[in-house]
Structure 1
Amino acid sequence: MTDAGGENEQRREAIEDEAVAWLVRLGGGDQEPAALKAWLRESAEHRRAYAWAKRHFDSSIILKTSSRHGRRRAFRPRNLLARAAIAAAIITIVAIGVSFMSVPPMQGDRQLSDNAPVLKTLPGQIDTFDLADGSKVTMDASSRLTVSIKGNERRLRFQQGRARIAVRSDGRPFIVEAGQGELLTRAARFDIGRKSDGRIEIAVLSGQIELRRLLRPAVIRSYSHHAQAGQTIVYSAGNFRPVAGLRDGVDRRDWPQGWTEYEAIPLRILIADANRYARPPIVLDDPALGDLLVSGRFRLTQADRFSARIADLFDLALSRSSSGIHLQRR
């Protein structure tokens, strides 16, 4: 009895081997020799792997001109560790390249220009961007993602923080990569964020999405998971095993306006959420205060009013210093 899963795994690894080897050997050049064209004609998997890798390799001038991996050396990775190292190198260099074109964060809606593929927000800031295709991205404090809109697809890479994405339908797929998974839709509105434990959380507000696993940077596994409005999905950033999100007593639907509603959650969690925006931070001088349970709807973006309300709710003393807004027992 054969192990079909193992055979499929080996086949995907072989495809990645060849795609990366072709790119490194050719130095990312546009000319494709007959042998490469024949390989691409063999299957859609070959073409998909090569197209994905080339899109990232084109940004990597270091690899193109490297004496180690450049045109002079016919390089063929022979094991899993080598493949992972090459893929990581390509992605790292791309990330370094785009970081020099970051958008200076500012308040208000803005049109994303062609020379600004990185979107990010400062601590304490919520910002909204209008993409070139008409889609809208609202980013929470200390968030970051990259954008690539081309003729055949629209692709974002979520890196940190939280974002609400409203996708405008225009016929092209809209893809968001996050950890070892990617989200695919044509028209939907959803939140995507990284939880405190490192997991990716996706909450679908309208429309429908498909989640797929990125088994390797260049090869997508056929396994997929569908979600629709009202559903929340979570998975580990390093291991794509999506599961339904559990209710945690927090309603975050209005976070882009600064509001969040809580039901019987520890005060420490509420304070941690408020400190996304508070500068200086809000501090519980007695850590035991963090065990107090709190319910209510709070505007977290107004640190002074928020901290005064918490002090009133629990009859706490409030003081300010250069190190923070302090809450302590009377």
Structure 2
Amino acid sequence: MTHPAQDPVYLVALEWLARLNDEDAAEQDRRAFARWLDEDPAHPAAYARAQALWNRFELVRPAARRMQRRRAVLGALAALAAVPALYVLSRQHFLADYRSGVGERRRIVLADGSAVELGSDSALSVSFDAGRRHVTLHRGQAYFQVAADAARRFSVQAGDGVTTALGTQFDVKLLDGIVTVSVTEHAVAVRPRPGAAAVTVAAGWQMQYGESGGAAPVRFDQAATLAWRQDRLVFNDVPLATVLAELQRYQRGPIFLMDAGVGALPVTAAFHVSDPQEALRGLAETFPIRLRVVAGYATLVYAR
């Protein structure tokens, strides 16, 4: 069965919902919408689904604004993209030991003296005992400065893989199921999945892994990769879809890429993280895309 978030009819229904809720919607838009409804029995059903889910979002939004907590509204917003409820709950990470808010950077000193800097919208759990130091990055990004302890190795679980420090400083990012490990001092051993051979990644090198396994380490631009620690995002020939996913971590409202065809557009740009909407507007001025903001909250990105 097609997942609703990938169902083209559902995406068109979502587009109509956005267009009709726009204050600039004209009578001709409503007539065109009526024609679309009549074209196929699947169209009214898809629109009803989108409308019902959006209504749930409307019920939650006022409370979310008062609380100023992004996770409080994610369940309703995820419904807009038809993400199953259990998946939404799994993204809450209520039991994580440390979390950062949207747009927040947080520095943590662990019990062993290791320092961790959490990026925006990140969650981390820690499990130390007499024989090991194990950290789990549930989501987001973290920069690690590991304290020496010859008796206990320091490892970071992210996705299906584990990165073990070999006396080092390194960055781990988990974004859209892809883990990126960037080493700035000494080296790490990356095991991209259980049972896989570990790959040694030295300072100045970066390795990515995901469901399909791990890629070979490559050289990386340290200034660009770690710009988030100075509240900046720097992209060098990065696909637009990835740029939008990065900006999503700094914005409370969701960003939906409605036309996958523009997702591969290469982006070279730098943004300050304090205003992701300004960054989106800059992208729309530079690339063949247009933005539609629904109810002042969700941003839909279309090909222009």
TM-score normalised by structure 2 residue count: 0.54
- The reply on whether 1:130 has 2:109 as its aligned counterpart is yes
- The reply on whether 1:244 has 2:216 as its aligned counterpart is yes
Change (3 A) 1:120 1:318: same
Unaligned runs of 5+ in 1: 1-95, 103-117
Change (3 A) 1:249 1:195: farther
Q: Secondary structure at the match of 2:215?
A: strand
Q: Secondary structure at the match of 2:278?
A: helix
Aligned counterpart for 2:179 among listed residues 200, 211, 216: 200
| Match of residue 294 from structure 1 | 267
Aligned counterpart for 1:183 among listed residues 129, 153, 163: 163
Q: Secondary structure at the match of 1:269?
A: helix
| Match of residue 224 from structure 1 | 198
* Deviation (angstroms), 1:312: 4.3
Equivalent residue letter for 1:191: D
Q: Secondary structure at the match of 1:132?
A: coil
Aligned counterpart for 1:258 among listed residues 231, 235, 245: 231
Indicate if the aligned counterparts of 1:168 and 1:186 stay in contact, CA closer than 8 A.
no
Identical pairs, percent: 25
Deviations 1:203-245 (A, max 9, x none): 11111112357758xxxx8x533221012223335x7x54314
Change (3 A) 1:264 1:186: closer
The whole-number CA distance in structure 1 between the counterparts of 2:206 and 2:190 is 12
| Match of residue 30 from structure 2 | none
Deviations 1:125-155 (A, max 9, x none): 4322221222111223343232123344322
Q: Secondary structure at the match of 1:280?
A: coil
The whole-number CA distance in structure 2 between the counterparts of 1:100 and 1:159 is 11
Change (3 A) 1:154 1:248: closer
Change (3 A) 1:317 1:235: closer
Q: How does 1:37-76 map to 2 (within 5 A)?
A: none
Equivalent residue letter for 2:200: H
Q: Secondary structure at the match of 1:274?
A: helix
Change (3 A) 1:134 1:329: same
The whole-number CA distance in structure 2 between the counterparts of 1:306 and 1:210 is 36
Indicate if the aligned counterparts of 1:264 and 1:293 stay in contact, CA closer than 8 A.
yes
Q: Secondary structure at the match of 1:244?
A: coil
The whole-number CA distance in structure 1 between the counterparts of 2:184 and 2:255 is 31
| Match of residue 43 from structure 1 | none
- The reply on whether 1:324 has 2:303 as its aligned counterpart is no
Larger-gyration structure (1/2):
1
Deviations 1:4-48 (A, max 9, x none): xxxxxxxxxxxxxxxxxxxxxxxxxxxxxxxxxxxxxxxxxxxxx
Indicate if the aligned counterparts of 1:249 and 1:262 stay in contact, CA closer than 8 A.
no
Aligned counterpart for 1:162 among listed residues 135, 141, 164: 141
Equivalent residue letter for 2:208: V
Give the number of equivalent residue pairs.
210
Deviations 1:179-219 (A, max 9, x none): 444322252111223342x2433111111112357758xxx
The whole-number CA distance in structure 1 between the counterparts of 2:94 and 2:254 is 29
The whole-number CA distance in structure 1 between the counterparts of 2:192 and 2:298 is 42
The whole-number CA distance in structure 2 between the counterparts of 1:177 and 1:272 is 21
* Deviation (angstroms), 1:253: 2.1
Indicate if the aligned counterparts of 2:205 and 2:220 stay in contact, CA closer than 8 A.
no
The whole-number CA distance in structure 2 between the counterparts of 1:281 and 1:136 is 31
* Deviation (angstroms), 1:170: 3.9
Change (3 A) 1:227 1:247: closer
The whole-number CA distance in structure 2 between the counterparts of 1:137 and 1:281 is 27
* Deviation (angstroms), 1:303: 1.8
Indicate if the aligned counterparts of 1:225 and 1:242 stay in contact, CA closer than 8 A.
no
How large is the Cα RMSD of the aligned pairs? 3.9
Unaligned runs of 5+ in 2: 1-89
Q: Secondary structure at the match of 1:278?
A: coil
Equivalent residue letter for 2:216: A
